[in-house]
Structure 1
Amino acid sequence: MMRASFGRKGARAVAGLSKLGRPSAWIHALRVLEFYADNNVNQKKLATHGTGFRLSPLASLRDAHLLTVGKNVRVGERACLWCASPGGAIDIGDDVIIAPGVMITTSNYGNARGALISSQDRKIASVLIGNDVWLGYNSVILPGVTVGDGCIVGANAVVVDDLEPGGIYGGIPARRIGSRE
């Protein structure tokens, strides 16, 4: 009789498979699926979007009923599109690339002295992203900002003011560093 030899990696795989019978493993898997469904699948159903909208399964949407997305828009991994009720809508144009890690938010806390930040009123303002825009890796778009058509926002930039069409922006806060040719 011949014995199978799995080696070290094979032994770990067999041990991992044996854990599938544990109820706690199944409960954890169900919780993960529920979280994913609530934060991505169900939220995507609430958003208004055009054809060719591709959303990474690892992206995060909040209050997606306030999200409007144009045609041929790609949203990368760990990107966060967080609308805030009431009135903090995100409107994204056509042919937009949102790289992994991008954060677009329509809500921010107050920063007045003498009061706890968490107890202050939030600033809620809509965000508009134009057509043919590329938001680079880990860039942040804050409430009330309009990103003009044809803009490129560099990696790790923080956009606090409106961006003029056709510009290339980078830095904290984002400043114009060039123009598209």
Structure 2
Amino acid sequence: MSGKLGGVARSLLDPRTYAQVFRLLHFASYSHVQQLRLLDRGPEVSFAPNVSFRNAERITIGRGTHIGEHSIVWAGNTSGRIVFGEKCLLAPNVTLTASNYATEPGRFVMDQPKIERDIVLGSDVWLGANTVVLAGVTIGDGAIVAAGGVVTKDVPAGAIVGGVPARVIGWRGGVAPENPAAAAEVAT
């Protein structure tokens, strides 16, 4: 028991402990607290205290939306926006990024130009745990993305999608849309 107490005492006396605490507080302020002032959010919006926002001046969150723990919502550095409809539900560990790197051969990834495109979530969208939504995607009203899905293309309203990359695996309420051609685009 005294060995554990000695370890705690050493930690409390070690200046590196306090430096790490300062770094964590700085990061929380940079990625959450400062960004909250820039968000355009409707009433009754809620999110966990550890949600990370970037470039929040280009993020709009609709009424009643909830964003789960450890989620990341990153608008582009210059133009990419993220827009949430009303009553969206994001489970923990969801990532939305309106920016991506190009993949031209012969250039390091870090030297590639960034490609920024808007992400739009309709109303009543549910993104399961560990979902990733990439730049340029629109997810229609009432759509559901299964846990672990990586959304690279638009999702029609009412669709249930899952997988990597996400594909239509069903329809909310079991009813397919009246325009099956629109659904077939994301199913392939």
Task: Report TM bin, short chain.
Answer: 0.7 to 0.9
Aligned to 1:166: 158
**Residue type of the alignment partner of 1:41:** V
Confirm whether residue 42 of structure 1 aligns to residue 42 of structure 2. Answer: no
Aligned to 1:62: 54
Per-residue CA shift, 1:123-160, capped at 9, x if unaligned? 11010011001001111111110000000000111111
- Residues paired across the two proteins, number: 173
Aligned to 1:28: 20
Q: Say which of 71, 89, 93 aligns to 1:79.
A: 71
Greater Rg by CA:
1
Aligned to 1:129: 121
**Residue type of the alignment partner of 1:180:** R
Q: Name the Cα RMSD after superposition.
A: 1.9
Q: Say which of 157, 167, 182 aligns to 1:175.
A: 167
- Deviation of the 1:31 alpha carbon: 2.5
Structure 1: segments with no counterpart, 5+ residues: 1-7
Task: Give distance in 1, aligned partners of 2:112 and 2:132.
Answer: 22
- Deviation of the 1:41 alpha carbon: 1.1
- Deviation of the 1:22 alpha carbon: 5.0
- Do the aligned partners of residues 73 and 14 (structure 1) sit closer, same or farther apart at CA in structure 2, a change above 3 Å counting? farther
Moved more, 58-67 or 143-152: 58-67
Over the matched positions of the two proteins, sequence identity in percent amounts to 35
Q: Say which of 151, 154, 159 aligns to 2:143.
A: 151
Moved more, 43-52 or 112-121: 112-121
Report matched runs for 1:75-114 at 5 Å: 75-114=67-106
Task: Give distance in 1, aligned partners of 2:58 and 2:95.
Answer: 16
- Do the aligned partners of residues 118 and 24 (structure 1) sit closer, same or farther apart at CA in structure 2, a change above 3 Å counting? closer
Task: Give distance in 1, aligned partners of 2:9 and 2:67.
Answer: 34
